[in-house]
Structure 1
Amino acid sequence: MIKPFANDHQSMQIGELVIENQKDKIIIYGDIDLHFDVSGHKQAQQLHELTGKILQAFENSAGYINNEPESKAKNDQSDENIDNPFM
């Protein structure tokens, strides 16, 4: 089991679901079929444990990394006026 947000080199797999650990994010991709059998139960337990650890990491954090998208309204605009080269 990975320790969420602890490093950039851990990964794990549950079924065909791949979970990659990074310091600033957790990447989850793939798919998983949870069958109503012993194997499905074990995979569901693993998912539950993993999501619990991820939530605990958020709750134990003093503050989140600010990854909110910047406004693009002025992000690509300069306050400087330039001459139009096509005129």
Structure 2
Amino acid sequence: MIDPFANNHQSMQIGELVIENQEDKIIIYGDIDLYLNQSGYEQAKQLHELTSKIIEVFEDPNKKTKKSLSSKEKNDQSDIVIDNPFL
């Protein structure tokens, strides 16, 4: 189980649903089929535990980080323009 908003390197998977952790956001993509059987029950419990942990961070101001955060997506972009080597 990930520690929501704690770092930029944790991820987990429930079924085909992928959850990626970052300090300023949680990214969720993919899909999941919850069948009415033991496997579906276990997956539903995992989803419930994950969403409960995420909501706890929003509700507890002490768990939120005090620093200004920005996602990797914004930090990885360079201001340097380079020539396209494929042209």
Greater radius of gyration (CA): 1
Measured after TM superposition, the shift of residue 60 of structure 1 is 1.1
SS at match of 2:12: strand
Q: What letter is aligned with 1:24?
A: D
Give CA-to-partner distance per residue, 1:12-46, whole Å, 9 cap, x none.
Answer: 00000000000000000000000000000000000
Q: What letter is aligned with 1:32?
A: I
Runs of 4+ in 1 over 3 A off after TM superposition: 62-65
- Matched with 1:30 is 30
Whole-Å separation in 2 of the counterparts to 1:48 and 1:4: 14
In the TM superposition, 1:4-83 aligns within 5 A as 4-61=4-61
Q: What letter is aligned with 1:18?
A: V
Q: What letter is aligned with 2:47?
A: L
Q: What letter is aligned with 2:4?
A: P
Give 1 or 2: higher helix fraction: 2
Q: What letter is aligned with 1:5?
A: F
RMSD: 2.1
Q: What letter is aligned with 1:37?
A: N
SS at match of 1:43: helix
TM-score, structure 1 as length reference: 0.71
* Unaligned residue ranges in structure 1 (runs of 5+): 68-87
Whole-Å separation in 1 of the counterparts to 2:60 and 2:28: 21
- Matched with 1:83 is none
The size of the alignment, in residue pairs, is 67
